[in-house]
Structure 1
Amino acid sequence: MTAVRTSVLPPYAAQLRVYEPLAAYPEPERSRWQAYAAEHGPDADGAAEPVAAAALAEQRQALAELAGRTPGALPDRESGRALVRVVDRVTYICPWTTRLRSWQAMDELRAALPAFLLDTVLPPAVRAEAEADQARWRTAHPDARPWILTSRWEVPVRWCLPFGEEDRHFVPAGPGGAAGDRPVPASLFYLTPMAQARRRVARGYRALRTAVPGSRSGPGGELVLGVEQVGRWLEEFHPRSLVELDYGGLVHLLGAEGLAAERSVAEIEAGIGALRAGDTEAAARAYEAVTARWRRVLALRYAS
Structure 2
Amino acid sequence: MRVYEPLAAFPEPERTHWADYARRGDTPTAQDELRRSLADLVRVPLVAVPRHESADAFTAEWDGTLLVCPWRTRLRGWLALEELVEWFPRPVLDAALPPAARRRATEEYEAWRERNPDGRPWIRTGVWQVPLRWFVLVADEEREYLPGERLRYRTPMVQARRRLARGLRTLREAEGYGMLTEGLVEVGSWLEEFHPRSMVELDYGGLTHTLPEAGLAGDRSARDLARGIAELRAGDREGAARTYGELAERWRAVRERLFAN
Residue 275 of structure 1 is matched in structure 2 by 232
1:191 aligns with 2:154: yes
1:122 to 86, 97, 103: 97
Distance of 1:283 and 1:227 partners within structure 2: 17
Q: CA deviation at 1:251?
A: 1.8
Structure 1 position 42, deviation (Å): 6.0
Aligned with residue 27 of structure 1, among 4, 9, 12? 12
What is the deviation of 1:266?
0.3
Partner residue, 2:166 = 203
Q: 2:129 aligns with which of 142, 154, 159?
A: 154
Going from structure 1 to structure 2, the CA distance change for 1:250 and 1:126 (only over 3 Å counts) comes to same
Match of 2:184 in 1: 227
Aligned mates of 2:82, 2:18 — CA distance in 1: 29
Q: 1:17 to 1:202 in 2, by over 3 A?
A: same
Cα deviation for residue 69 of structure 1 reads: 4.3
Q: In structure 1, what is the Cα distance between the partners aligned to 2:241 and 2:65? A: 40
Name the structure 2 match of 1:77: 52
For structure 2, the 5+ residue unaligned runs are none
Aligned to 1:9: none
> 1:26 Cα shift?
1.0
In the alignment, the residues of structure 2 paired with residue 116 and residue 248 of structure 1 have an alpha-carbon distance, to the nearest angstrom, of 28
| 2:59–2:66 contact (8 Å) kept in structure 1 | yes
In structure 1, the residue matched to 2:222 is: 265
Cα deviation digits, residues 34-81 of structure 1 (max 9, x gap): 0000013567xxxxxxxxxx1110011122234354212200010000
Q: Distance in 2 between matches of 1:258 and 1:230?
A: 27
In structure 1, the residue corresponding to 2:173 is in which secondary structure? Answer: helix
2:3 corresponding residue in structure 1: 18
- The two structures have a TM-score, normalised by structure 1, of 0.82
| Letter aligned with residue 174 of structure 2 | A
Q: Please provide the CA RMSD for this pair.
A: 1.5
Aligned residues of 1:19 and 1:242 also touching (Cα < 8 A): yes
Tell me by how many angstroms 1:124 deviates.
Answer: 2.4
The answer for the alignment partner of 1:40 in structure 2 is 25
Q: 2:205 aligns with which of 213, 227, 248?
A: 248
Query: Counterparts of 2:213 and 2:103 in 1: how far apart (Å)?
Result: 44
Partners of 2:258 and 2:47 lie apart in 1 by: 24
- Alignment partners' CA distance in 2, 1:126 and 1:299: 27
For 1:271 and 1:297, the matched residues in 2 are separated by 20
Task: Judge conservation of contact 2:27–2:57 (CA < 8 Å) in 1.
Answer: no
Amino acid at match of 2:98: P
**1:143-171 deviation per Cα after TM superposition (whole angstroms, max 9, x unaligned):** 00001110121211101000011111112
Separation of aligned partners in 2, 1:259 and 1:234: 27
Residues 271, 251 of structure 1: alpha-carbon distance in 2 compared, 3 angstrom cutoff: same
| Residue of 49, 52, 58 corresponding to 2:33 | 58
For normalisation by structure 2, the TM-score amounts to 0.95
Alignment: residue pair count: 261
Q: State the shift of 1:282 in Å.
A: 1.7
